[in-house]
Amino acid sequence: MKISVDAMGGDHGPSVILGGCELILARRPDIHFLLYGDEAKIAEVLKNLPRLSKSSTVIHCAVAIAMDDKPSQALRSGRGKSSMWRSVEAVKTGEASVAVSAGNTGALMAMSKFCLRTLAAIERPAIAALWPTMKGESVVLDVGATIGADAQQLVDFAVMGGAMARALFHLDKPTVGLLNIGVEEVKGLDEVRTAGAMLREANLPMIAYGGFVEGDDIGQGKVDVVVTEGFAGNIALKTAEGTAKQVGSYLRAAMSRTIMARIGYLFARSAFNRLREKLDPRKLNGGVFLGLNGIVIKSHGGTDAEGFASALDLAYDMVRNDLQAKIREGLEEYHRGRFGGLEPEQERMS
């Protein structure tokens, strides 16, 4: 499998990005990386990464997109020549199966949408993230791409999120819920209530609509896929990440406060290690851009090598389990039931 990587993205640049690539090769030896970025800087890091040196091709790019560049500015300065653009373009040309970047989220979405274009039936793409739950993991989307989605877009997100759950969790019919301020049908915004009615009426064979879910239902794993628009989804994601860090800080402070607490920690160390691993955001690092003619994975910009390796793991699984085919299958099934088999362009005209 060929994976294109924006080696200059993120807060730490090639050292972390290439370190993650080296780590993933230990468990995914069939990967070949296309590394886009400053050839001299990449070569300096590769000197200490023998496995990656043998399993990668370096493509020099003189332009790197800064983390604080505006999307419009990034498109003007980086289109056709930046490491970010070239890594996404490799997916378009078929040179790579998936692109991964830890760079500027807005710029990456703008470039991905401009370069790959959206699927015919999708008006706006979404970013899907994995969320740890009491039952395992759930898919949550959108977490920042589309602000203020309408009912049809929420339904599209439900179909695409269901496809991702089928690809990642190997479920025949994942459950899907709409994030709302209550489970009652009379509560929430008009768009959310309308989307709920549309999903109930569609009665899709590839997803099981589970109704409305509230914020505390996400962590309980009430459904396999949680659908919301990007503003609420991004706030929910950042709140969860902050809460995990807060809990970890409280535990560290409590365990070091007294001699007895330190002794108690020694006896319970294995349990605390399991908790730490469960709350470690690096384990579920990586957001999937859904709704494009190709797969792009966004890694957290501040992650370390282990976290970037997790994003690469996600990229590998999305390709191996044929995410794009599952998305197209789900969208075709939905639109066949809604418009009697019309092509997406014909649907828009009708």
User: Each residue of 248-283: pLDDT tens digit?
Assistant: 777 778 777 788 777 776 777 776 667 666 666 777
DSSP 65-85: --TT--HHHHHHHHTTTBHHH
Tell me the pLDDT tens digit for each residue of 282-339.
Answer: 777 889 999 999 999 999 988 999 999 999 999 999 999 999 999 998 888 887 766 4
Q: What's the CA gap between 198 and 218, in Å, rounded?
A: 22
pTM of the model: 0.87
- Kindly report the number of other CB atoms within 10 A of residue 205's CB atom: 12
The residue-averaged pLDDT of 117-137 equals 89
- Identify the helix (H) or strand (E) that includes residue 63: none
Q: How confident is the model at residue 162 (pLDDT cuts 50, 70, 90)?
A: very high
Judged against a pLDDT cut of 70, whether residue 41 lies above it is answered with yes
Q: What's the CA gap between 84 and 298, in Å, rounded?
A: 11
Domains and CATH numbers, the chain: 1-122+291-350 (3.40.50.10950), 124-283 (3.40.718.10)
The residue-averaged pLDDT of 21-26 equals 94
The residue-averaged pLDDT of 127-151 equals 90
Mean residue pLDDT across the chain: 88
Judged against a pLDDT cut of 60, whether residue 35 lies above it is answered with yes
- Identify the helix (H) or strand (E) that includes residue 176: strand 175-179
The residue-averaged pLDDT of 130-143 equals 90
